[in-house]
Structure formats: structure tokens, C-alpha cells
Structure 1
Amino acid sequence: MALLLLALPALAARAGAIPPEIDADPRLVATQHARVALLADHAAVAPGQRFHAGLRIVHDAGWHTYWLNPGDSGLPTRYDWTLPEGATASDIRWPVPERKPIGELTNFGYEGVLLLPAELSVPPQAAPGERFRARLRARWLICEEICIPDEATLELDLPVEAQARPSADAAAFAAALAAVPQAEPGWQGVTRRDAGGITVEVQGCSVALGGAERIEVFPATPQIVANHRIEAAHDAAGVLRFRHPASEYYAGMPPSVDWVLVREDGETRRAFAVRLRGEDALAGAPGAATKDGDAPASAAARLPADAAGTVPPAPRLGPGMALLFALLGGLILNLMPCVFPVLALKALAFQHGEAREHRRHALLYTAGVLASFLLLAGLLMALRAAGEALGWGFQLQTPWFVAAMALLMAAVGFALSGLATPGASLMGLGQSLTEGGGGRAAFFTGVLAVVVASPCTAPFMGPALGFALTQPPAQTLLVFTALGLGLALPLLLVGLVPALASRLPRPGAWMERLKQALAFPMYLTALWLAWVLGRQVGVDGMALLLAGMLLMGFALWWRGAQPGRLRRFAVAALLLLALAPVLLIARLAPSVRGAGDTASAESSLWQPWSPEAVAALRAEGRPVLVNFTAAWCITCLANERVALSGTAFEAALREHGIAYLKADWTDYDARITAALAEFGRSGVPLYVVYPAGGGAPVLLPQVLTPGAVSQALREAARHGSAPSTPAGDST
């Protein structure tokens, strides 16, 4: 049995001063708080060969990035490869990290110089004289006292030759790979949760680890144990044991748990990987045993395709049905709480003036809606063509945009409450947008309707948008046009058909009261967006936004209460100051919302989604409900309040043994975006039921009722029988 000898300087996690030859490397590209380069261990590759390539990160002093299990906070570095046809890339090979205590938190990560290798394969059909060209989009979270998301897109261009040639970086890759924990055959054991916490026993490791000065333990599977320092020791029988408190966010024992065991003898370190079966004595249901000695890998990689949660090709709509679904979805968007006030006020404006003016305003409103949807479609197509995996609502994953929308909603609310009148400096636009004082106002009312509708996905919209974003540009634009026509249709009909306008209530004092009452849905929308912002960047960002709203309200009150010309300058200054939070929020670090930020209160009810979690649960034969959601999605929040919470829902989960997973798309997550695309969707909400015992996953309606959810869970638990709602039916 070969033991892996690791010298301390070889470990990237323990890197000290930057070697001069690395510090002066011209290939390094500066990012926000690091320099990065894409390296390979070969200068030339051969057909069918496997070689290593990866990102070298030279961290600025005091800054660090994260391991595959980041600990109590943080995010691991992610690779997205674009490879030649027939080429493949492995997952990142992670070196042993360092523990990084930060207050009461403990994270796992790296400082100094880091190289994260991955194994690439050259297509067998490649011929000498060709080029092997690969592109890597790497994303990471880099932290000091604050955390900043960063990324780089780098190119690798190697000649294909009959004989491979190593590069000058081969030694760096050898050292990095030597720091990756290796599995030893014959090791076995258990990770057990009991009343005392987490107990771990490892058998067969006494030869490799016996007599060590110290054995440090790192949990490669997150949210099982608390992340502060763990040290293990052998008992008299040669079994390695340790007991440690369970993680605050513990949500259930998976069938297997991965650990990294590091033997330290002075300056010498040996790192080993071991997978142990999981048992939960409190739940009384041991996890499924795994083959002893397996090296850590995703659960999905060790299961048959159907058990691992692989979905069948998503049913696709035809072009005609996609257009119909888009039209119906746009029509239903008018009923959303932040869209309806805009629609109602514009409709009431049709009580005044002549029929010809009504037609003109209706057409201009429709033009504003269509222009906005087509602009959004063009932006989505351009970003996706550039390699971004984005979907409907992507703009709300950007904190400054959420802040700007919240201020806009507050501005419209202030205008409806009478704090602004046409011509009142910057706020004149806000009221004209909602009251409609002319052709330009009608056009921008349409723009505003699209902006405030962006957090919503109405029934029928999901399949239509999923179809649109996988089609050529002409068909994509056609579907978005149909969606816009659906949103504009009610006002368009009122403007073009005088008989409909004549049926509206007669003007009177009630209109002013209605206008003021409709301000409150806008205030509620602004508060909701402030809550979303707090989820994204933390309470400091939310406080900045609320301060901006307060300044805006004070500016409008000052304008009405203070006479004189100077008030215009004071109001303009205060309003500009109210916009400052948008600029400051753009500089705030994202709030790293670990899977347990809200799960701690509901850990017995749901757990965070991941492909590995779905695979592990399906391997146990359990039925699974997955809720793809986001904090900025009104439909998602409504469904959770109405159908996915409460004692009846919790009882149904427990009665039928349903595992409930949440995939939170509030912030960008490439894996969630990819999962949505597998089901033919480009946005949330999406509800997927995996029946017990295997079988194809089934999609639930986008608008849920308690009865529909209860029936779906009951049928999913019947030995693999699928819920009655057919896959692909979003209504």
C-alpha cells in the first residue's frame, strides 16, 4: 500500500510568499483581488491522450478562495469548459484546504498561490497538425473582510502532435495533484448521528494513520458536522474514532459521507479520502451502504442514469402552441399585484377625451410593451450567445437593479399618494407614467408595465419561454412579441373598441380615492424588493435602500411645504441623494446565503437542492419534491404560502416519506439554470416530483393549490406511480 508523502510547501492551501518566477509570470491576468492564468501540464497533446489543465490563482495578500465544501459560508470555485467535439473534462481535483476561523464561523479555503487541476481528454479523432482549443470560464468568491464574486474567461490553445510533450508547468501540476487526497483500498466505516452528535468510525486505516502526531479531519460532505477543528485518534482495537457536534444546518444523513483525513508528523503531511456509509439513529433509517474505499465523487456519478435523477428530454411545444401559451401568459400577467395598479389607472384615463385619442394612446401603450419585451429578448439572446446561462427574471439577480426597481415602485407610490404633481422636477415623470398625460406617457406606461411584471412568471409562460430561448432568433422574438401582446391586450381592446370604454364607471370623486388606494400595492412591492435585496447583499444594503426611499419622500414633502425658488434645487439634490444607495449597493458584496440561512428553522421540512442530493434520495427509493424558486418571484412566494407550507403540507410530506428540496435561484446559480433548461424552462417557478422507486419526473402546475399538491405527493409515493398531471403541462 503506497502512502502519499506531501511536503508542506507543496500544499497550495499552505502557500506562503509567492515564488518570484510565478509572481513575474506574464500569463497572469489581473482580476479584482487576484491574478489568474489557465495552465496545462503539456505543451503539445496527442490524439486520445488525457492531460491536466486548470486555473492558477495568485491571491492578493490577505484574500482567500474556497474548497469544494466552503464551510459555514462561501462558495467553491466553479469551472465551465467549452471543449472541442469529443473532448471531456473532469471535476476539479481539490487540494487539502486550510480552516479559516472568522468570528464564530469556520470556513475552508486557500491563500497564496493555488492551482486547481482538472483532467481533460483529447478526442481520438484529432489528427496531428490540428489544434486543441478550449475555453474556461472560471468563477470564484474571493474574501478578506468582505467577499467579492469574480470570474475570468481564458483560452487554451495546444498543438496536436503524434507524441505528447510536457510543458514547463508539469512540475506545478505534479505538486498540485500530490496535494489532492487519495483513497486507500480496504478502508470502511460509518458516519452515525445519535443523541450525542456525529460519531465517526474508520476501520482499516491503522497502518496509514497509526502513530501519527496529529490527525486532522475535514468534512467533504457539507452540513453534517460543525466545521471547527476536528482531531481523531485510534482506540485499542485500531479503529479511528471521533465524535463531533452536528452542523447547525443538519437536514438529514445522506447514504454516504465523504471525509478527508490528514496525517501530520512535523512538516510532513499525508492526505487520504474516505467514503463512509451514513446512518441516522434518531431517524431510525440507515443510509444506503456504498462500496468501501470509493474515492469521493458525486453521488450521481455512481448511480444508474434513472436513479441519479437524469430527466428525459423535456417535452417541447410546437411553434403554434408556444405562441398561444405566450399570449395567455402575458394576459394573466395583468393580474399581478404590481402590474394591476398601472393597468387600472391607464384604463380610467380612457374615460376622458375622444375615441381617436383613446386609440392613439392604446397603440402607444402597446408599442411601449412590445419594445420593452423585444429589448429584453435581444439582451437575453446576446448574453446567452456570449456563454451566459440566463433565463426569465435574470435582471433581478443583480442587486443594483433590484434597488433601482424598489425606488421606482416607491416613486410611483408617492405619485399616486399625491406627493408629486406633473412638472414636479424628477417626479413629474413618475406620475405621468401612471396617470397618462399624453402619448409619451402612454408609451412609457407600457415600459413600466413590463418592468414591474419582470419578477412574475404566469401560468403558460414557463413552457413558452423555455421554447423561445432554444429557438433561432426569429422564433424567439416572435414568442416575446406574443407575450407582449398578451400583456397589452386589455388596454388595447379598451382603446380600440369604444363600447368597452363606455362600460367603465363614470368619473367622480371615487377616482381620486382609488388612485390613492392603488399606491399601497406599489409600497408593498417596494418593501418586498427591499426584502429581496436584503437576501442578496445583507441588512446593510436593505437599510441603504430604505434610507433612499425616506429621502425621496422627504424631498417631495419639502417641495410642497417650502415656498421659493431654492426649493427646486434642494428637492433635486435630495432626489439625487436618494439614488445614491443604488450606486453604493452595486459595490456591496453579495450575502453568501448558505443553504441553511432559512433552513435552520425548517431543517426538518426541507433541505437545499443539488443534483447529488436528488441522486442520493432516489437511490434510497424515496419520492422527492423539488421546488425551484427565488425570493424575487411573486408567484413562487404565493405558491409557498398557499400550497407548500402549513400543517397539512408538513403532514403530507411525513406521511408519504417525501423528501422536499428547494433550489433557490435568487442569486445566479449555473447548476439551477442548467436544471431548469433540462425541463425546457428558462425561469421559476418550477415544481418537479420524482416518484418513489424510480420513474420519469413529473412537472406540477405553475400555480399550485393545496389539493393538487396533496394528490401529487400521494400518488408519487405509490411505488413509482406518477402524479396525474402530465409532464410539460404548466397549467
Structure 2
Amino acid sequence: MSRARNFPLPIRQFAAWVLALVASVLLAGAAHAQDAEPDAGSRALYGDGNIAVALFADGAPKPGGEWMLALRFTPKSEEWHGYWSNPGDAGQGMRLTLGLPAGWEAGEPLYPVPQRLTISGLMNHVYEGQYAVLVPVKVPADASLTDVRPITGHVEYLACTDQICVPQDAVLKATMGGDFARWRASIAPLLDARGAFAIAGQTLRIGIPLPAGVALADPHVFISNERLVEYAAPQTFRRAGDLLVAEIQLDERRQAVEAVSGILSFGDGAGVRFAAAAGDVPTNGEVIAGAQGAVAPPLWTLILGALAGGLLLNIMPCVFPILSLKALSLARAGESEARARAEGLAYTAGVVLACVALGALMLALRAAGEQVGWAFQLQEPGVVVALLVLAAAITANFAGLYELPSLSVSMGGERTGAFATGLLAAFVATPCTGPFMAAALGAALLLPVGQALLLFALLGLGLALPFLALGFVPPLRRMLPKPGAWMERFRRIMVIPMGLTALALVWLTTQLGGQAFGGIALLLVIGVLIALWIVGRLQRGGKMAWPAFALVAAPFIAFAAIALPNVYEAKGSEQTVSIHAPTPFSRDALAEARASGQPVFLWFTADWCVTCKVNEATAIERESVRDAFEAAGVVTMIGDWTVRDPEITAFLTEQGAAGVPLYLWYAPGASAPEQLPQVLTTDLLETQARANSGTPPPAASAAGSD
């Protein structure tokens, strides 16, 4: 349970927190004064008028056994609340002294699952309403129970409302009775298996052994170690089989710890206690509660987002290279209504199937422990080489070097060609996560598999929607030019965008694997083009052509298969070139940058992401932006996701992103980053910088001069 309260009266807030501080000091002094064994005749200093307390014993003690005591707290009205052992950002935990016979030992108090109360950004761990704290007492095996007097004690605690805190204390005398069955049931049970914790940069990761079947409505970890974590910071939760992994931001004032303990709240009043020792904690697993501490948005908003994102993907820069394939099919769609509908459905089927297949493969890999995201296939050098060969072959087909009737790119196919074009369109379009689409893909990592696949299918439907509409809406088709000789000329013109695409893929192979890797990939392309040229000559002579292709291309393919893995050099972060001289991303580097007190601009990119490169060329890599960042003292940081990087993938997932681009702005002192739009402008970045430097905006006459 979590509640947040904000009050418009700062003076009242200040007075409330001053009273809380005074109460804490008074309680500390009282605790020092009560170090001696309490006496039944001693007097309380403050009384328990706001939250009354009574001490109960569960029957008579037995030698060698565990005897249970209980402190029942009862607020005089619903506005008062008490605190857990670790009160959070404010408040005071209970201080208890018991007058036990010699040799008897009181254990750690056992608490119910606390509640969250946020006031003015401060997180409090509280109890509202009546609650009980159990205190186990270990009775020696040789204890004599003939002359045991009633147990007495003294307790100090804090009673608070939203506006005031009052120290409380009471002299205790145990009585038999109380509802111990209910009180025991309310205590968070201790897990039998021990957990593990690990610290990476500014993040505490805790692996809690919890069966996968346990439902978690709104999970939250209450840490017993004081000042170890930021209590109000969002928490991220992952499922890795029967292990629940919680990720929590660390407190900058923390000290080294050897063990971590606390209570995992399930979100419905239930929870478990856990203890964790330093060890390995997996970084993989399905995210079930994201960085904002909440489950995925409503499904209907995600459905609309997937559709809109797929539709907008048609005009995103990353999809432009395959628009030439669509253009030829769209021009042919006007020949007959039946043919147009058939091609529209076939193309849509190809796009949707490709999106669902890629989504299913991504989810399967993540479930198997792989850190992958959307467009993961373009992080594989072998896939990029295959795309390079395919782009070169399509370019040669457009140029008339050879004919391939089964594909629509050759103008000779119908439904089969449209289906193949749809497959290729979706496969090549994956480097982008445009507006609306990013939220849907990020949420797909949180949803059940069936709903996630539905989002991928709707993304494909949105991408195919324009072509599908042309197939089923005759007025739209009538707007297209009539088929004719111009189509052959248009086919030749399409050599230019497809040729540029092939050249871009040559550059990408070099970026992925180094110059030798790119050179061998280019040699492979040359061999395939030679084989296709021979195929074209045989086709024009009316002879059997494709056996010749296999004969000529086979040596080049075999050589590339052997040589490419041997010359591959993985891209390193040191290869990033930018006028900002950004720091390569890591969690430790980000924590250090944020600790400097300066604003931080962090962007995630990839060489195969056309949208990323357009944003960098038109907005990020501009001198005016660099000057604005320098004036504001902005720390720049880049996460290069060109090749697979588990740390970057995990971080993207925490931010609710399934792919790149992702742009984050950390204002000084902010607990969470601001996600900037996926289409950047120089004005946006300069405005962000001025907001952190106090520099006034430029005069209207100078606006947009960059």
C-alpha cells in the first residue's frame, strides 16, 4: 500500500519536520536514560495518549522454549500512524527495553508488512490503524519458573500525523491474553532460502528466492538497513524463474554492508521477510514492474500506440530505403481490383508475420536469459552481411542485370512477391522505434506473451496499413498513375535509393567488424554480382541460368564464411566520434556524473539506426548545442548499442524502452531522468541546457540561426 500527500503550506510542513526532529532527539535521550533494567514503578515521560500500547504474553513460558510477547499499538484516531523499525526518510523506530530474568534473551522484534506514506517527496514506512509487534523471548533450559514475576518494560516510539509528530512512551507490564493467532498471521514470514545482493554503481540488486507462481500486485522492498537506499526512488523488479530480482537506487551516504535484510511487500498487505548475503545476482529476466514502479499502461492505449507507431514508421527515415520496393507494388496495384486486394493482403501478411516472428524470437531469447532488444538481428554481423548481399541483389534486379520473376521487385510477381516484399519491409524497418511505437514495444517486455505478440502484430498492421488501404479503397488507387512504360523507367530510378542502401550497409559492416571484415563482405558482394550478371546473360539467351549462379557464387560464399569470423573485430566504445567528447555509458560512469551535481545528457544510439544518425546530424552534433552544453556544464554520455551490450540492454529495459534511440536528461538533484522525444531539434537541446544554466533565451531575431 502506498499513499502520497502534498501540502501547500510550507511553513506548516517546516514546523512539522522540526517537531519530528525534536521528537527524535528526545526519544534518543530517553533511550539513554533507560539503559538500566526498567522498574515497574518508573514513570513514563510523554505518555501514550495518541497511540496507546499494551504488552501481552502468549501463555506461560516453558524452559528451553520460545516465549512470545506482543506489543499492541492502538491509535486514538485514524490520522495517527506509527513506524516500522526503519522509519524511512523521517520518523523514529521503536526502542524497547524489557526487564527479563537473568539468562533470558529477547530476540529481534517481528513486524507486519509496513505501508508507504510519501509526504513532500519523503518516504515513510508506517502503520495506520491498530497493529502488533511480536517479540520472541528465548527461555533457558534450566530456567526456574517458580518465582518469575510479571515481565515489565519500557518502550519509546513516535506517533505522527501528516503535520505533527509527538514522542510517546509507556511503562509496560505483561498480561496474559491477546489475539496471538491473528497477530502471528499478520507478521511477514521469513523465507527459508537465503537471498543474494550485489552492488553495481549506484544500484543495489537483490535476488529474493520466491516461487514464480506468487502474484505480485504492487511489489516493494522495505530495506531494514538504514540509509542504504533511496527510499522514495522507483524500484524495478524482474522474474528469473523462481528468483525475484529487485533493483533499487543506493543512498549516496551509504556505508559498506555485509548483509541486507528487509520485507518484500506483495502489494496487497501480504509479504515475506528475507535476508541476503553478498553474491551473484542475475541481470536477466522478465521485467514485471518497471523503473516507474508500476505495471504496463492499459492495453487499449498500447494497442493504439502500436498501430500509430507502425503507421508513422512509413515516414521515418529508417524505412525510406525500402520505400522503393513498395513504390513498384503500389504502382502495379491499379491494374485490377482483385489483384490489388490480393497484393494488399499478401503484403500485410508478410509484414505482420515478420513483426510477430521477430517479436516472438526476441521474447524467447530474453526468457532464455539473453539481453536483447528490438532490432537485435542488426547487432549480428552475419545478418548485416546477408542484408548487404540482399540489397545489392535487389539493386542489380532494378538495374536489369537479371530477372527474378518470383519477387515483386522484378515486376513479375503478384501475391508471392508482395508477401516477400512485406517480409523484407518489416525486417529492415526494425532499426527505428518512432513516436508511440516506443511505449508499446517497451510495454511488450512487461506483458504476458499473448498480449505482447498482439502488440507486435498490430505494429506490423500499422506499417502495412497504407498499402492495405490502397488495395481495398478504389478511390485511393485511382489517384495512382496508370500502368505503362514509365514503370520500367521508374524501376531504373529506384536503383539509386537501393544502391545507397547497399553502400550504407557496406559502411555498417565496417563499423561492426572492422575494415578487413568490411572488405571481405564487399568482396562477397562483388562475387554475387558477377554471378548475377552471368545469370542475366544466360536468361537473355534463353538458357538455364541459376545453376551457373551457384557455380560462380559458391567460391566467394565459401571464402567469406571462413574468412569473416577470423577477421571480425568487435566495435569498441573508443570508436565513437562526437564534438561533445562524451563519456561511454556505464552505470558507474552515470552515477559519477550525477554525483557531480551537473546536468547529464545521455543518449543511446546505434550505427544501424537511421533515426539515431539523423538526430545526431541535425540536432546533437551541432556547434550551437555544444556551446550551450558547455555554458551549462552539461556532462554528455553515449551508449553505443551497435553491437550487443547486456548492460545497455538492461538499462534500456529499466527505462521502458525496447530499442534505440533513447535520450535521457538528468537535471541536478532529480531522482529520475526526463525522457526527451525521439525526434530531436537543436532548439529542444539548447532549451534544456539553458534551463539548467540560467542563461536567458536568445533574442527572437537570433532564433533558429543554427
Structure 1 residue 387 displacement after superposition: 1.1
What is aligned with 1:388? 370
Q: CA deviation at 1:641?
A: 0.7
Secondary structure of 1:384 counterpart: helix
Alpha-carbon distance between aligned partners in 2 of 1:637 and 1:314, rounded to the nearest angstrom: 32
The structural deviation recorded for 1:715 is 2.2
Aligned to 1:360: 342
Unaligned stretches of 5+ in structure 2? Answer: 1-190, 212-240, 242-251, 253-277, 279-289, 696-706
- Structure 2 distance, partners of 1:628, 1:361, is 38
C-alpha distance in 1 between matches for 2:559 and 2:666 = 44
2:592 to 573, 595, 616: 616
* Alignment check: 8 A CA contact 2:664 2:674 kept: yes
Change over 3 Å in CA distance of 1:717–1:672 after alignment to 2:
farther
Secondary structure class of the residue paired with 2:524: helix
Match of residue 406, structure 1, among 363, 382, 388: 388
Structure 1 residues 579 and 321: CA distance shift in structure 2, 3 A:
farther
SS at structure 2 position matched to 1:682: coil
Is the CA contact 1:334–1:343 (under 8 Å) kept in the aligned structure 2? Answer: no
The CA RMSD over aligned residues, in Å, is 3.4
Matched residue type, 1:319: L
Alignment match, 1:499: 475
Which residue matches 2:646?
A: 670
2:71 corresponds in structure 1 to: none
Take 2:192 and 2:589, find their aligned partners in 1: how far apart are those partners?
Answer: 30
1:686 shift after superposition: 0.2
For the Cα contact (< 8 Å) 1:607–1:662, is it kept in 2? Answer: yes
State the Cα deviation string for residues 184-216 of structure 1 (Å, max 9, x = none). xxxxxxxxxxxxxxxxxxxxxxxxxxxxxxxxx
SS state at 1:701 partner: coil
Matched residue, 2:462: 486
The structure with the largest alpha-carbon Rg is 2
Structure 2 Cα separation of the partners of residues 125 and 391 of structure 1? 26
**Paired position in structure 2 for 1:519:** 495
Q: Are 2:571 and 1:593 equivalent residues in the alignment?
A: yes
Match among 442, 464, 472 for residue 466 of structure 1: 442
Where structure 1 has 5 or more consecutive residues not aligned to the other structure, the ranges are 1-82, 93-119, 127-154, 156-254, 256-296, 298-309, 423-427, 720-731
For 2:329, the equivalent position in structure 1 comes to: 346
**Structure 1 residues 320 and 717 mapped into 2: Cα distance closer, same or farther (>3 Å)?**
farther
Partner residue in 1 for 2:561 = 583
The 3-state SS of whatever aligns with 1:694 is: coil
Q: Using a 3 Å threshold, how does the CA distance of structure 1 residues 481 and 568 change in structure 2: closer, same or farther?
A: closer
Cα–Cα, structure 1 residues 447 and 122, in superposed 2: closer, same or farther, change >3 Å? closer
Report the equivalent of 2:361.
379
Partner of 2:119 in structure 1?
none
Distance (Å, rounded) in 2 between the aligned partners of 1:452 and 1:579:
22
2:302 — aligned with what? 322
CA distance, structure 2, for counterparts of residue 662 and residue 328 of structure 1: 29
Residue 408 of structure 1 and its aligned partner are, at CA, apart by: 0.8
- Alpha-carbon distance in structure 1 between the residues aligned to 2:533 and 2:206: 67
Give distance in 2, aligned partners of 1:650 and 1:355: 55
SS at match of 1:480: helix
Between the aligned partners of 2:655 and 2:431, the Cα distance in structure 1 is 20
Give distance in 2, aligned partners of 1:124 and 1:368.
43
- In structure 2, what is the Cα distance between the partners aligned to 1:121 and 1:407? 46
Alignment of 1:252-331 (within 5 A): 312-313=292-293, 316-331=296-311
Segment drifting more, 392-401 vs 520-529: 520-529
Does the Cα contact within 8 Å between 2:535 and 2:549 map onto a contact in 1?
Answer: yes
TM-aligned CA distance change 1:470 to 1:433, over 3 Å: farther
How far the C-alpha of 1:124 sits from its partner, in A, is 11
Give 1:570's aligned residue.
548
Match of 1:508 among 471, 484, 500: 484
Instruction: Report the residue type matching 1:372 in the other structure.
Output: A
Aligned-partner Cα distance in 2 for 1:366–1:124: 45
- Quote how far apart the aligned CAs of 1:588 are: 3.5
SS of residue matched to 1:662: strand
State yes or no: 1:87 paired with 2:70: no
TM-superposed deviation, 1:329 = 1.3
Q: CA deviation at 1:436?
A: 5.7
Aligned-pair distance for 1:669? 0.9
Partner Cα separation in structure 2 for residue 122 and residue 609 of structure 1: 25
Q: Tell me if the contact between 2:584 and 2:638 (Cα under 8 Å) persists in the aligned partners.
A: yes
Q: Please report how far the alpha carbon of residue 553 of structure 1 lies from its aligned counterpart in structure 2 after TM superposition.
A: 2.1
SS in 1 for 2:360: helix
- Amino acid in the other structure paired with 1:502: R
User: 1:491–1:568: structure 2 CA closer, same or farther, 3 Å change rule?
Assistant: closer
SS for the counterpart of 1:553 is: helix
Q: Note the alpha carbon deviations across 1:371-397, whole angstroms, 9 max, x for none.
A: 111111221121111111211011111
Indicate the larger mover: 410-419 or 510-519: 510-519
Determine the C-alpha separation between the residues in 2 that align with 1:319 and 1:639: 30
1:581 and 1:383, CA in 2 relative to 1: closer, same or farther beyond 3 A?
farther
Deviation of 1:712 (Å): 2.3
Instruction: Work out the CA distance in 2 between the residues paired with 1:523 and 1:85.
Output: 60
Secondary structure in structure 2 of the residue aligned to 1:448: helix
Q: CA deviation at 1:462?
A: 1.1
CA 1:471 to 1:711, structure 2 compared with 1: closer, same or farther past 3 Å? same
Question: Once the two structures are superposed, what CA deviation does each residue of 1:673-710 show, in whole Å capped at 9, x if it has no partner?
Answer: 11101110110100000012434310011111222222
For 1:682, which of 649, 655, 658 is the aligned residue? 658
1:444 aligned onto 2:420: yes
Q: In structure 1, what is the Cα distance between the partners aligned to 2:193 and 2:429?
A: 40
The separation in 2 between residues aligned to 1:594 and 1:580, in whole angstroms, is 28
Corresponding residue SS for 1:663: strand
C-alpha displacement at 1:590, in angstroms? Answer: 4.5
State whether residues 601 and 664 of structure 2, in contact with CA within 8 Å, keep that contact through their aligned partners in structure 1.
yes
Between the aligned partners of 1:714 and 1:577, the Cα distance in structure 2 is 59
What corresponds to 1:130 in structure 2?
none
Q: Deviations over 1:229-285 (max 9, x none)?
A: xxxxxxxxxxxxxxxxxxxxxxxxxx9xxxxxxxxxxxxxxxxxxxxxxxxxxxxxx
- Shift of the 346–614 alpha-carbon distance from structure 1 to 2, 3 Å rule, reads same
Which moved further from structure 2: 617-626 or 532-541?
532-541
Report the equivalent of 1:231: none
Amino acid in structure 2 at the alignment position of 1:345: L
Encode CA deviations 1:32-81: one digit per residue, 9 max, x unaligned: xxxxxxxxxxxxxxxxxxxxxxxxxxxxxxxxxxxxxxxxxxxxxxxxxx
1:71-100 deviations in Å (ceiling 9; x for gaps): xxxxxxxxxxxx9975114479xxxxxxxx
Is the counterpart of residue 476 in structure 1 residue 452 in structure 2? yes
1:62-211 aligned within 5 A: 87-90=195-198
Partner of 1:132: none
Contact map agreement 1:330 1:461 (CA 8 A) in 2: yes
Q: Which residue identity is paired with 1:318? A: P
Q: What CA distance in whole angstroms lies between the structure 1 residues aligned with 2:357 and 2:662? A: 25
Tell me the residue number matched to 1:455. 431
SS at match of 1:490: helix
Q: Deviations over 1:95-138 (max 9, x none)?
A: xxxxxxxxxxxxxxxxxxxxxxxxx9998999xxxxxxxxxxxx
- 630 and 644 in structure 1: CA distance in 2 versus 1, 3 angstrom threshold: same
Letter of the structure 1 residue corresponding to residue 310 of structure 2: G
Give me the whole-angstrom Cα distance separating, in 2, the residues matched to 1:125 and 1:569. Answer: 59
- Residues 1:314 and 1:691: Cα distance change in structure 2 (over 3 Å): farther
Query: What residue is the counterpart of 1:626 in the other structure?
Result: 602
Structure 1 residue 475: Cα displacement: 0.7
Q: 1:345 to 1:581 in 2, by over 3 A?
A: farther
